[in-house]
């Protein structure tokens, strides 16, 4: 049966068709739709399975992995930087193994489209000594879930599925199973302390040798089942291209465009590779070019004098693959001497680049504006965190962004390094649950003095509005958590009257002056994209500008920075009615000449 599926849809359906019945993870582009779609399929098909977001990737990994130890088929989902958080249990799980299938799905983001770093999770799999599958298309993504389940159960090892953004978000007509009957395994934990709780050194050393034997056995499997048929179809000649994932499509198209004949071998499993058997094939070729992204995972395993790629700068060393990079590589190897088929031609009517910005009406804008107005730019340090509130960097209201939860621990560091300044850290609710609690405990017991503002909009807005723990029920409360950590904690319910927000932060500044440790301000907000609640907060109070009062001071366009605000041909500020959502926040405080007023006509 054929279905048009996005890559992440295909992975979700592949899990159902592989009878995976425990799925946990943490949202992050480009992986977020995988678990969301499993939840949708669960509801549509009335399936008895566990599919829930965890508080962070490490927790999600461990929940799912416990299911696999107990014999059920399980999967954990995350993006590549999330694997850094889950790397701790991954390293131990690679030694211990599993009984039921455990598929670790990590979506990579070559080109930094929505990530702070460009990482290659295939290299992480190599580091952990677990097999990794690299789909090139949504069809591969669907098929490889089943393959990963088979490998994981056959060799009793965690098995990684590594789609990249262009696979996760691409759409393709995919051939899928028809009339699949969901039939998950029963979980039954069997005590085996020497395996599941092996401690240094005797137990782990034995498991370490077993892990090496296991990875060597998977190499043989990879050769016999997946790679050997590829080489048997090769003809030999000047050029052999070795590739995996999206590199296959780029290489195939570029060779066709350039009119160059070559054999292409696509590695479904780029680690572990049977390197010696692969090198034996090199005698049939003059050049071997490795096309992969974003790092040299394949190339490092099969290095030889005639192998070229990222390590010798034949291919691009960073950034997402493009066909121009392959053309350049073939030119360097002397295999292409024709014209540049991929010239960069700037679009003559190109729209000017715009900086990232918070949504019109977003309460984060008012909170950051108020913090800056009270604590001042030059007198304070503003560490922040990962989430849509990071977009306040456009208001110059953020000094540092490192990784999930680092706003709190870096605030500790800044309070020690530069105590003459105020340190005001900001973090979202989901990020606080993810990685903000341990550093807050650390700050309390070590008495690090700073203000932590927790922006609680009760939704993981940037990755698709997943619901964080406090949204599910009233059992988890951020104020109580902060108090439980020992922090002096205050609560503020957002008002669209900026005077109220500024007054609250003036109060926080007074508290800061007399504090001996961290103080926490939990700001109860909402998300303007959250259709379930936004109607309770946006009352349709639209603004307009009295042209005669506008002195073009730039305050609204350079400090407050709401997207509808811009200059007209007369040099006066105007409100774009198409972008204004009627929050009314700009009617107070923002304009020094009080040029903003209620648009009575639109506000009726």
* Residue list for the binding site: 550, 553, 556, 562, 580, 583, 586, 591
Task: Assess contact for 347 and 376: CB atoms under 8 A.
Answer: no
How far apart, in whole angstroms, are the C-alpha atoms of residue 134 and residue 291?
Answer: 13
What's the number of CA atoms in the CB half-sphere (13 Å) around residue 101? 29
Please give the radius of gyration of the chain, using alpha carbons only, rounded to the nearest integer: 27
CA dihedral 358, 363, 367, 368 (to 10 degrees): 0
Question: By the 8 A CB rule, do 588 and 499 touch?
Answer: yes
Rounded CA separation 444/230 (Å): 59
Beta-carbon count within 10 A of 129 CB: 18
242, with CB counted inside 10 A (0-12, 13-18, 19+), is buried
Q: How far apart are CA 525 and CA 456, in angstroms?
A: 6
Give, in degrees to the nearest 5, the angle at Cα 446 between 441 and 447: 95
The three-state secondary structure class of 422 is strand
Of the chain, the end-to-end C-alpha distance in Å amounts to 53
CB within 8 Å of 92: residues ≥ 6 apart: none
Greatest Cα pair distance in the chain: 82
Binding residues for [4Fe-4S] cluster: 550, 553, 556, 562, 580, 583, 586, 591
What Cα–Cα distance (Å) separates residue 75 from each residue in 151, 154, 283, 312, 332? Answer: 14, 16, 41, 37, 43
- Nearest residue to 37 via CA among 117, 145, 114, 111: 145
The two beta strands, 74-79 and 102-107, are parallel
Residues 308/288, Cβ–Cβ less than 8 Å: yes
Paired tokens of 280: 């034996």
Between the alpha carbon of residue 147 and those of residues 6, 143, 183, 225, the distances in Å are 19, 7, 17, 11
Q: Quote the tokens at residue 141.
A: 């993504």
Alpha carbons 24 and 27: distance in angstroms, whole number: 10
2-6 and 171-175 as β-strands: parallel, antiparallel, unpaired?
antiparallel
* CB of 533 closer than 8 Å to CB of 330: no
């Amino acid at each position: 049966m054929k279905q048009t599926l996005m890559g992440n849809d295909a992975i979700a359906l592949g899990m159902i068709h592989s009878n995976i019945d425990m799925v946990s993870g943490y949202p992050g582009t480009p992986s977020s739709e995988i678990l969301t779609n499993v939840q949708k399929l669960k509801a549509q098909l009335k399936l008895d399975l566990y599919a829930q977001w965890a508080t962070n990737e490490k927790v999600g990994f461990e929940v799912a992995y416990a299911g696999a130890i107990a014999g059920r088929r399980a999967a954990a989902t995350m993006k590549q930087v999330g694997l850094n958080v889950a790397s701790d249990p991954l390293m131990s799980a690679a030694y211990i193994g599993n009984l039921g299938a455990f598929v670790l799905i990590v979506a990579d983001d070559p080109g930094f489209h929505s990530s702070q770093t460009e990482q290659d999770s295939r290299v992480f799999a190599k580091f952990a000594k677990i097999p990794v599958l690299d789909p090139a298309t949504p069809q591969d993504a669907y098929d490889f879930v089943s393959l990963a389940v088979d490998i994981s159960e056959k060799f009793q090892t965690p098995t990684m599925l590594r789609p990249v953004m262009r696979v996760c978000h691409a759409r393709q007509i995919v051939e899928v199973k028809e009339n699949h009957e969901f039939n998950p395994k029963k979980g039954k934990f069997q005590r085996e302390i020497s395996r599941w709780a092996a401690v240094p050194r005797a137990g782990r050393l034995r498991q370490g040798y077993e892990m090496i034997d296991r990875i060597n056995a998977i190499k043989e499997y990879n050769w016999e089942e997946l790679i050997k048929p590829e080489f048997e179809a090769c003809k030999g000649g000047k050029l052999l291209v070795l590739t995996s994932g999206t590199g296959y499509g780029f290489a195939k198209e570029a060779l066709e465009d350039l009119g160059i004949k070559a054999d292409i071998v696509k590695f479904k499993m780029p680690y572990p590779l049977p390197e010696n058997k692969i090198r034996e094939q090199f005698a049939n070729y003059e050049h071997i070019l490795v096309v992969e992204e974003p790092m040299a995972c394949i190339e490092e395993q099969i290095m030889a004098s005639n192998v070229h790629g990222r390590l010798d700068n034949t291919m691009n060393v960073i950034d997402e693959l493009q066909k121009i990079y392959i053309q350049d590589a073939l030119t360097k190897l002397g295999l292409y001497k024709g014209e540049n088929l991929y010239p960069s031609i700037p679009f003559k009517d190109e729209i000017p680049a715009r900086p990232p910005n918070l949504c019109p009406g977003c309460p984060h804008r008012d909170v950051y504006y108020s913090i800056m107005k009270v604590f001042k730019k030059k007198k304070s340090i503003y560490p922040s965190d990962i989430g849509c509130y990071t977009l306040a960097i456009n208001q110059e209201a953020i000094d540092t962004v490192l990784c999930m939860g680092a706003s709190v621990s870096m605030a500790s560091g800044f309070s020690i390094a530069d105590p003459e300044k105020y340190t005001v850290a900001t973090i979202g609710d989901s990020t606080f649950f993810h990685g903000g609690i341990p550093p807050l405990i650390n700050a309390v017991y070590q008495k690090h003095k700073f203000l932590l503002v927790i922006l609680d909009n009760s939704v993981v807005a940037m990755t698709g509005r997943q619901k964080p723990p406090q949204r599910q029920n009233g059992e988890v409360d951020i104020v109580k958590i902060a108090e439980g950590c020992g922090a002096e904690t205050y609560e503020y319910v957002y008002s669209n009257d900026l005077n109220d927000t500024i007054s609250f932060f003036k109060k926080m500044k007074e508290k800061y002056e007399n504090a001996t440790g961290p103080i926490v301000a939990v700001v109860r907000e909402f998300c303007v994209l959250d259709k379930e609640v936004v109607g309770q907060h946006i009352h349709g109070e639209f603004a307009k500008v009295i042209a005669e009062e506008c002195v073009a001071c730039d305050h609204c366009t350079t400090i407050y920075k709401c997207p509808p605000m811009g200059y007209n041909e007369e040099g006066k500020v105007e409100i774009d009615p198409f972008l204004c959502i009627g929050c009314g926040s700009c009617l107070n405080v923002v304009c020094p000449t009080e040029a903003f007023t209620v648009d009575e006509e639109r506000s009726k």
